[in-house]
C-alpha cells in the first residue's frame, strides 16, 4: 500500500511539474513583461515546492523545465534590449527637434509674418515632441529642460519683437496724425505752387513710415 501511495504521489508530482512547464511556455506568448516576470517567480516557487517525480522521468522533465525557463528569460531580456534601443532612437529624434528649434531661433527674419510662420513651426515641434516616448532616465530630464528653455526663449523673443513693433506703430500713428493735421491746414490754401510743394513733402514723409498693421491704417 505504501509503495502504491508513493508511486501515486510521484505520478501526481510529475503532472504538476508538467503543468508548470506548460504555464511557462504560455508566458512566452504574452507581451506583458512585468506580469511575466511576476508569474515566473510564482511558478519557480511552485516547482521547488513540488516533491520528487519518478526517477526515470526526472532528467527529461528537469531539462524541459530548464529550457523553457531559459527561453522565457531570453524573451524578457530581448524586450528590455528593444526597449533600450527605442529609448536611444527617441533621444535622437528629440535632439533633431532641438537643433531645428535652435536654427529657427537664429534665422527668423524680423518681420511679423515671419514670426507668425515660425510660431506655427514651433507649435508643430511641440506636438511632435509629445508623440515621442521617453529616453534614458539620465537624458530624459536634460533634454526636456533644454526643449522647454528653447521654446521659452523663442516666445520671449517673439514677445519682444511685437512689443517693439507695436511701439513703432504707435509712434507712426502719432507722426501720421500730425501729417494729416498739416495737410488739413493746407487744403484751403490757394498758393498753389507753395502748397503743392508742401503737400509733396508731407507725402514723402508719410512714405518713410511703414504701415501701422491695423484696421486704422486704411482710414
4, three cell numbers: 502504491
∠ at Cα 197 (195, 201), nearest 5°? 115
User: Residue 148 has what pLDDT?
Assistant: 94
11, three cell numbers: 505520478
Question: Could you give the angle at which helices 33-49 and 2-27 cross, rounded to 10 degrees?
Answer: 170
φ, ψ at 189 (rounded to 5°): -75, 145
Please tell me the distance from the alpha carbon of residue 190 to that of residue 41, in angstroms, as a whole number: 105
39, 41, 45, 47: CA torsion to nearest 10: 60
Q: What letter does residue 213 receive in the DSSP assignment?
A: S
**What is the residue-level pLDDT of the chain in tens, covering all 219 positions?**
778 788 888 999 999 999 999 999 998 888 888 899 999 999 999 999 999 999 999 999 999 999 999 999 998 898 888 888 888 999 999 999 999 999 999 999 988 889 999 999 999 999 999 999 888 878 888 999 999 999 999 999 999 988 887 787 777 788 888 889 999 988 888 888 889 998 999 999 888 876 666 666 777
How many other C-beta atoms can be found within 10 angstroms of the C-beta atom of residue 101? Answer: 22
Amino acid at each position: 500500500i505504501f509503495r502504491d501511495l508513493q508511486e501515486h504521489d510521484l505520478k501526481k508530482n510529475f503532472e504538476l511539474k508538467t503543468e508548470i512547464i506548460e504555464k511557462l511556455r504560455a508566458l512566452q506568448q504574452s507581451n506583458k513583461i512585468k506580469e511575466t516576470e511576476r508569474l515566473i517567480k510564482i511558478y519557480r516557487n511552485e516547482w521547488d515546492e513540488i516533491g520528487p517525480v519518478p526517477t526515470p522521468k526526472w532528467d527529461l522533465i528537469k531539462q524541459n523545465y530548464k529550457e523553457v525557463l531559459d527561453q522565457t528569460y531570453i524573451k524578457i531580456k530581448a524586450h528590455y534590449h528593444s526597449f533600450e534601443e527605442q529609448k536611444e532612437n527617441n533621444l535622437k529624434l528629440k535632439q533633431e527637434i532641438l537643433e531645428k528649434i535652435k536654427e529657427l531661433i537664429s534665422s527668423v527674419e524680423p518681420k511679423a509674418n515671419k514670426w507668425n510662420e515660425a510660431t506655427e513651426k514651433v507649435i508643430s515641434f511641440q506636438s511632435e515632441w509629445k508623440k515621442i516616448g521617453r529616453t534614458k532616465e539620465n537624458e530624459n530630464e536634460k533634454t526636456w529642460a533644454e526643449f522647454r528653455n528653447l521654446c521659452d526663449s523663442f516666445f520671449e523673443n517673439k514677445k519682444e519683437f511685437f512689443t517693439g513693433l507695436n511701439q513703432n506703430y504707435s509712434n507712426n500713428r502719432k507722426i501720421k496724425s500730425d501729417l494729416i493735421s498739416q495737410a488739413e491746414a493746407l487744403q484751403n490754401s490757394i498758393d498753389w505752387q507753395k502748397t503743392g510743394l508742401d503737400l509733396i513733402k508731407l507725402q514723402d514723409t508719410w512714405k518713410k513710415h511703414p504701415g501701422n498693421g491695423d484696421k486704422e491704417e486704411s482710414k
